[in-house]
Amino acid sequence: MTTAMRSKAAPRTGVDWFLTFLRVLLTGLVLFGLLAFLWQQIDPGNPLASAINPDANRLSWDAFQGLVISGLSQGAMYGLIALGYSMVYGVLGFINFAHGEVFMVGAMTGMITSNKLFEAGVWEDNFLLAILIAVLVSVLCSTVTAVVTERIAYRPLRGSPRLIPLITSIGVSFFIQNTSAVLLGPGAKSYPRLPDWLRDDIGIGPFDIEGKKLLVLVVAGASMGALWYLVERTKTGKAMRAVAEDKEIASLMGIDVDRTIVTTFAVGGAMAGVAGILWGILFGSVTEFTGFLPGIKAFSAAVVGGIGNLGGAMAGGLTLGSSESLAPQLVLEPLGVTGHTQLKDAVAFLVLIFVLLVKPTGLFGERLSSEDRA
């Protein structure tokens, strides 16, 4: 990045010193928190641990693995949503703020379909068939939402200053959110009860994983594999990569740029749809605001992994999910922060800020088109 190079060459200003201070402070706090955690793991009564946190308490292995697994399964969902952000950013160079709402549409339509199937008795008789239908419906609806949004709101803005599509997408996000509230009624709506085998623990090696979390991890992995195949091994994927690299030259090579962009939105929407139904299975309920925070966190995941980088998006999602689930217990509690679980969402944003301060290109490097690198 040029900014990074410039800051090396130019004399350090007050802002630079402040940023360095912040970097050191944040890193120090995290390390200190982890150290304090280790102290209290060794002996909660030891004077160092209890000096920092009077209520120091040992974290049991069961609780720890529970946190890791719920962090990973939530992170897998963030990763699936992040793919959409990352692909659109790679191709069009703007943050599609409304992508979180596409995910919410998936969760909502999944809720409607599965409740209908539950009423028809399919959900209980043949759960796999029912969930397959629900996945198909919600993927279809999310894809349609993403494509229609692109057509109405983003295509006319191609080539305008970068903040304009971003502001438009905020409007789209707001609109979809409130459309759901007005059409389907505000408030939480629940999914039907899951079958027992998804609610029981399944033992894999040293881990006991709740069935639904395992399902989420497996489905997310499979979708990721399918996406990887699409992008890296098919002609459509090649076209997408070419458009991401340089739109003009891609169109000179005979690639239909508009169509490729639509495909990108569609694929991102489909991934968000899968994530939506997984959210429903994992948490059992959905509201019109379901898309907002996970959407922003998924964007953070895309940045953490390096935007435009698909593997990075998934890895970023897993990193973000597990750190937001572990950090309150591992860092905040040993530091003596009371009510640390309330700060779970704040941790996710702090991770984003931390990564952007320390390594703005993300953990795995950005893959952006030549125009955006400047």
CA gap 53, 36 in Å, rounded: 9
CA gap 39, 255 in Å, rounded: 59
Q: Which is nearer to another protein, 85 or 213 (CB)?
A: 85
Alpha-carbon torsion angle 24, 75, 98, 116, nearest 10: -160
**Under 8 Å between Cβ of 29 and 335:** yes
DSSP E strand stretches across the chain: 189-190, 201-204, 207-210, 285-286
Q: Which is nearer to another protein, 136 or 152 (CB)?
A: 152
Q: Which is nearer to another protein, 247 or 340 (CB)?
A: 340
**Under 8 Å between Cβ of 324 and 70:** no
**Under 8 Å between Cβ of 329 and 344:** no
Q: Which is nearer to another protein, 223 or 264 (CB)?
A: 264
Q: Which is nearer to another protein, 162 or 233 (CB)?
A: 162
* Residues lying near another protein in the complex (CB under 8 A): 3, 7, 13, 15, 18-19, 22, 94-95, 112, 115-116, 152-153, 156-157, 160-168, 170-179, 181-185, 292, 296, 299-300, 303, 337-340, 342-343, 345-346, 349-350, 352-353, 356-357, 360
**Under 8 Å between Cβ of 289 and 279:** no
**Under 8 Å between Cβ of 199 and 187:** no
CB of 199 to another protein, least distance (A): 26
Q: Which is nearer to another protein, 182 or 222 (CB)?
A: 182
Q: Which is nearer to another protein, 210 or 288 (CB)?
A: 288
Angstrom CA distances, 8 to 14, 16, 255, 280, 364, stand at 14, 10, 40, 47, 22
Q: How many CB atoms lie within 10 A of CB 1?
A: 11
Both tokens assigned to 154: 């983003």
CB of 178 to another protein, least distance (A): 4
CB of 82 to another protein, least distance (A): 13
Bridge partner list, 209: 202
Q: Which is nearer to another protein, 237 or 334 (CB)?
A: 334
CB of 362 to another protein, least distance (A): 11
Both tokens assigned to 204: 């894999």
β 201-204/207-210 pair status: antiparallel
Q: Which is nearer to another protein, 37 or 97 (CB)?
A: 97
DSSP one-letter string for 18-87? HHHHHHHHHHHHHHHHHHHHHHHHH-TTSHHHHHH-TT--PPPHHHHHHHHHHHHHHHHHHHHHHHHHHH
CA gap 265, 145 in Å, rounded: 9
CA gap 178, 185 in Å, rounded: 9
